[in-house]
Structure 1
């Protein structure tokens, strides 16, 4: 089974090897990376990995700022995607945590009875008071999250999707595929959540401009969860803020974004089942002198960027504001205020 992971990156150098190694452990056979405007060695590391046949690396084709959607349109025509049995579209801070069988994507597909798409619910992992960036696996460091059934008072949570090659595709979305317009009811794709249940009808039939990308999380994660490490360390969050994201350059993440994802109510270490094999796979990748040196350079440049940012008063203020921010999501704090419990 060929499984291709597609992603867009900008200044993710220190985190690339972990994500690649982890995906290979769960059954990803091919990686297609698009990069843009990197100054931390991300592109050089990806070029080196591509030269060794580990990934495919292309410049992002976007002419404006819609980096992710332009890349996904381009990816649909690449052989590494067209020849795949399944396509997995995710970001480098997202890890597919599979709870069934041998904890691989093929095991998840089998548990869901081989549908044409599987949409897996997010679980946002909190910063947990970790300030300093360390060059150790992200999945080992961050173990606290919101209650997986409730995020910021919302019972619905966003998803990311695995897509089978015979899905009647109109286009790939970042969170879910969209099937062809005018498709007869009896030709709509078989599509499940992370528990192998049919996705909700409104989600299934949503089309542009609705673009529904979430549904209730309760009961949807029996077979798999998508661990999303959107914050990581405070150091890395400051660098992320400087970078912006793949869709909008220079977007400022205020403390609302941080607080919505920094709820430590739940402890979940289930993904640690992968750590022994992950550490061995990382050591193997880094044993290549060229790859190891480029990874070390990306780590050094990540720390250097943090140091440069903290010379600016605005970033020192941001760091202090995030340190002092309450761990209650804003929506939950507002609800408590309304109830007079704050």
Structure 2
């Protein structure tokens, strides 16, 4: 007799030097319906353990030490290999990405409309520094409200771990069918994003001081060094329009 998964919705993320942001990210996603977090530490030297210990004691976080260069995809594969029976859905996204339903619904109830799909691709809105040179003493979702236009976007995937055979950073390959967006569209380059049912706010730079740290930290998905000039130029495109949909969704949910 097959057992149903213990969790409806979990998240997997790899992180490095994210201690100041972990607690807000976990609590936010717990509030929108994520029941457990598989977090892979990738060479952090900050006080992440002190931040995560209460969540581990609570049974909310499973912490995995993952000291592998360019460790993102191998961490994702490890999560699927170990946890495929445990969760109905696993979302693969980062600590600077906040996933929510703009109408304030919890995410599992939204996903119940997509149980026939092996994966749901969620579009991102990219947020810049909103003019903050140094990190403000406010939650990320309140501090950064300026974002890029719809021409700068990508997707991350919430997937059925029993159906995936090749996990990707953005999209994955499945044994049957394909990951579609919330309007059941196949993802193709240049298509307009849909942010109305589910969306991800990607706080790409946070403050300019945080962006500087991000450039120096490097990337978990590639060994290439980050190009400072490119990053600074890209950030300048991410403060085009004001968008506080995440705060309105939190009010509706509350």
State the TM bucket, normalised to the shorter chain: 0.7 to 0.9
Counterpart secondary structure, 1:37: coil
TM-score (norm 1): 0.65
| Structure 2 contact 70–223 (Cα < 8 Å) conserved | no
Q: Indicate the residue corresponding to 1:116 in structure 2.
A: 118
For 2:129, the equivalent position in structure 1 comes to: 127
Alignment correspondent of 2:66: 60
Does the alignment pair 1:223 with 2:211?
Answer: no
Match of 2:91, SS state, is strand
Give 1:158's match in structure 2, choosing from 141, 149, 154: 154
CA contact (8 A) 1:7 1:34 kept: yes
1:88 counterpart residue number: 91
Q: Which TM-score applies when normalising by structure 2?
A: 0.86
Judge conservation of contact 1:144–1:266 (CA < 8 Å) in 2: yes
Q: Deviations over 1:200-226 (max 9, x none)?
A: 4xx5xxxxxxxxxx55124x2231221
Change (3 A) 1:233 1:227: same
Aligned 8 A contact 2:41 2:67 in 1 = no
> Which structure's residues are more often helix, by fraction?
1
Is the aligned partner of 1:170 residue 2:170? Answer: no
Determine if contact 1:4/1:31 at 8 Å carries over to the other structure: yes
Do the aligned partners of 2:102 and 2:249 also contact (CA within 8 Å) in 1? Answer: no
* Contact 1:61–1:71 (8 Å) recurs in 2: no
Residue 37 (structure 1) aligned to one of 40, 43, 47: 43
Q: CA deviation at 1:21?
A: 0.6
Deviation at 1:248, TM superposition (A): 4.3
Tell me, in whole angstroms, the C-alpha distance in 2 between the residues paired with 1:162 and 1:238: 30
Query: How many corresponding residue pairs?
Result: 247
Identify the residue that residue 198 of structure 1 maps to in structure 2. 185
CA contact (8 A) 2:70 2:219 kept: no
CA distance in 2, matches of 1:241, 1:31: 26
Alignment match, 1:104: 106
Tell me the residue number matched to 1:76: 80
CA contact (8 A) 1:120 1:224 kept: yes
Alpha carbons of 1:145 and 1:31: their partners in 2 closer, same or farther (altered >3 Å)? Answer: same
Q: 1:86 to 1:174 in 2, by over 3 A?
A: same
**Tell me, which stretches of 5 or more residues in structure 2 are unaligned?**
1-6
Once the two structures are TM-superposed, the CA of residue 27 in structure 1 deviates from its matched residue by 0.8
User: Does the residue aligned with 2:154 lie in a helix, a strand or coil?
Assistant: strand
Larger Rg: 1
Query: Quick one: structure 1 residues 159 and 233, their matched pair in 2 at CA, closer, same or farther if it must change by over 3 Å?
Result: same
**TM-fit CA distance, 1:238:** 1.8
C-alpha spacing 1:136/1:12, structure 2 compared with 1 (3 Å): same
1:250 is displaced (CA, Å) by 8.0
Question: Equivalents in 2 of 1:113, 1:53: separation in Å?
Answer: 26
Unmatched segments (≥5 aa) in structure 1: 152-156, 181-186, 204-213, 281-342
Q: How does 1:131-150 map to 2 (within 5 A)?
A: 131-148=133-150, 150=151
Spell out structure 1 runs of 4+ moving beyond 6 A: none
For residues 227 and 52 of structure 1, do their structure 2 counterparts lie closer, same or farther at Cα, with a shift above 3 Å needed? same
